[in-house]
Chains A and B, each alone.
Chain A
Amino acid sequence: MMDYDRIMSRNVKTLQPSGIRKFFDILDTMKDAISLGIGEPDFVTPWHIREAGVYSLEQGFTKYTSNAGLIRLREAVSGYLKRRFDIGYDPADIFITVGGSEAIDLCVRALIDPGDEVIIPVPSFVCYGPLVTMANGVPVYVETKAENEFKLTAQELRAAITPKTKLLVLPYPNNPTGGIMERRDLEDIASVLEGTDIMVLSDEIYAELTYGQKHVSPCNIPALYDRTMLVNGFSKAYAMTGWRLGYVCGPRAIMKQMLKIHQYGIMSAPTTSQYAAIEALRNGDADIETMRESYNKRRRLLLKGLRDMGLECFEPRGAFYMFPRIGDFGLTSDEFCTRFLQEERVAIIPGTAFGQGGEGYTRICYASSVENIETALERLRAFLERLRS
């Protein structure tokens, strides 16, 4: 008998398995259950974008692209970033990845040596810590607070920096809290980082989904531009999650190292997806507005519903999640969500899935139909009544 447990990488074994898997396992067995769990757009990719992918197949574009991606796509990304966010990157400083996730992995791997520390604000998307661990780095989690609108403050950052700090992750607009960083917040971050060699990994996958104000990137702050790796992609802005396409931009010297990892591990991002993405960037601005407006209506609906039943909830300013406080019912987040699923057949995610600071909260994704949101609210109301009585 092989002793697999002895063979496998110790590093990988330390990674936490998916903490919410059990929710989906339970969900699968239920009738008329509603999931507000999975975080992805509920739209199908706009037809003109799908059609561009299909057309590329008709033309026989089925080979690898350059490792860095199609030059026309990189030019389109460059134009898009300038047009939508006033961010300047030469096409040569951009390359195309398999989703934003690969781009995050590459940034971490290109920068981290064993023992280097990476500061990660939490609650946040689940991938940063494990990717740092796999690169033999050390994740340093910083808990952001509801009273600070889940922003990373200068004070919190300063307290987390050590001589080993190599990288700061800025996951904004934030999944799961809906928090954003505004210009002055980023300027505060810039002044803390001034004089250090700390790089910034800015995960801006939700940049197009902000409500009430335009997204500001660290790249818009002159003092941060040279130390920022910008990660973005097509999944959230154009409802293209399954196409697995993202990109990264940054200082050329670092990009050169990252491209090596990409070329050995991935070769090139999916060709069909790249052709579709060119169409998205060229003619997709109106789709972004339509979808954002639709999310915004549902955001208002859910926020009002949650507050009407007496839940404390930070008004999310980006992404498509709400992060209400549910910590005052004598249940942990995990117990709350498990019971809510079992008793009312609605899947939402415990805040603890997104790291420290998530206890006492739950993430509700409002990229779901108005009908689902209404039903979920009704069921939540009934559930809270029982908990309160």
Chain B
Amino acid sequence: MNEILKLLEEDSRYTAKEIAAMTGKDEEYVRDTVKRCEDEHIINGYTALIDWDRTSEEAVTAFIEVKITPQRDDGYDRIARRIYQYDEVESLYLMSGSFDFSVIVTGKSLREVSRFVSEKLAPIEGVISTATHFIMKRYKDKHRAFLVEPEQEERTLFI
């Protein structure tokens, strides 16, 4: 199963047929495994890695450190839920160290993201403080570097 997952993580467009050929399993097994992983939320979706900086789309991303007071009974999960339900939130992680949540937020402009932080995130009950860091340039995401390196010159080789 993990072999199939690793391939999908590498390129989610691989077809069951291709994965079957690459892993030496049969196609039906691959299809069943993928279906089961989807059902069990091991696979949670398929998406594209887009460098929006190369488009005309205006977009900013911020990484926000959030300190909170954990709630009785629910611990961190309840506040987490109240944060991640917002569409603006791209990712949310509980962290070890000097703050609790790392929230990744995307918006159209600095103002939009700032407004989200001041009007939605900060007022949530239990949130003690926030520190917002705007991402200035995205070099690498999900193991893919976004800078395109120049090609080595054309070669004629006899090997």
Contact = CB atoms under 8 A, between A and B. Distances in A.
Contacts of B157: 24, 38
B14 A25 contact: no
A125 B158 CA distance: 10
Nearest to B159: A39
A21 B21 contact: no
Given A301-B18, A374-B18, 18 more contacts: A18-B158, A20-B158, A21-B158, A24-B155, A24-B156, A28-B156, A38-B155, A38-B159, A39-B159, A40-B159, A125-B159, A297-B22, A300-B21, A300-B22, A301-B21, A304-B21, A305-B21, A370-B11
Contacts of B156: 21, 24-25, 28
A384 interface: no
A298 interface: yes
B158 A126 contact: yes
Interface in B13-32: 14, 18, 21-24
A370 B14 contact: yes
18 contacts: A18-B158, A19-B158, A21-B156, A21-B158, A24-B157, A25-B156, A28-B156, A38-B155, A38-B159, A40-B159, A125-B159, A297-B22, A297-B23, A298-B22, A300-B22, A300-B24, A304-B21, A305-B21
Interface residues of B, number: 14
A28 B157 CA distance: 12
Interface string A34-49: 0000111000000000
Q: Is chain A's binding surface mostly helix, strand, loop or mixed? A: helix
A195 B156 CA distance: 45
Contacts of A38: 155, 157, 159
A18 B159 CA distance: 9
A24 B157 CA distance: 8
B154 interface: yes
Interface of B: 7, 11, 14, 18, 21-24, 154-159
Chain A interface size, under 10 / 10 to 19 / 20 to 34 / 35 or more: 20 to 34
B124 to A, nearest CB: 41
Contacts of A374: 18
A370 B22 contact: yes
Contacts of A300: 21-24
Contacts of A24: 155-157
Contacts of B11: 370
Contacts of A301: 18, 21-22
Interface in A331-385: 370, 374
B142 to A, nearest CB: 17
Interface of A: 18-21, 24-25, 28, 38-40, 125-126, 297-298, 300-301, 304-305, 370, 374
A24 B14 CA distance: 30
Contacts of A297: 7, 22-23
Ordered nearest first, which 6 A-B pairs have the shortest CB separation?
A: A18-B158, A297-B22, A304-B21, A301-B21, A24-B156, A301-B22
A378 B22 CA distance: 16
Contacts of A40: 159
A374 B15 CA distance: 11
Interface centre among B21, B22, B24, B157 (most CB of A within 10 A): B21
A309 B18 CA distance: 15
Contacts of B159: 38-40, 125-126
Contacts of A21: 156, 158
A308 to B, nearest CB: 9
A28 B24 contact: no
B143 to A, nearest CB: 12
Contacts of A126: 158-159
B19 to A, nearest CB: 9
Contacts of A28: 154, 156
Contacts of B14: 370
Contacts of B22: 297-298, 300-301, 370
A264 to B, nearest CB: 26
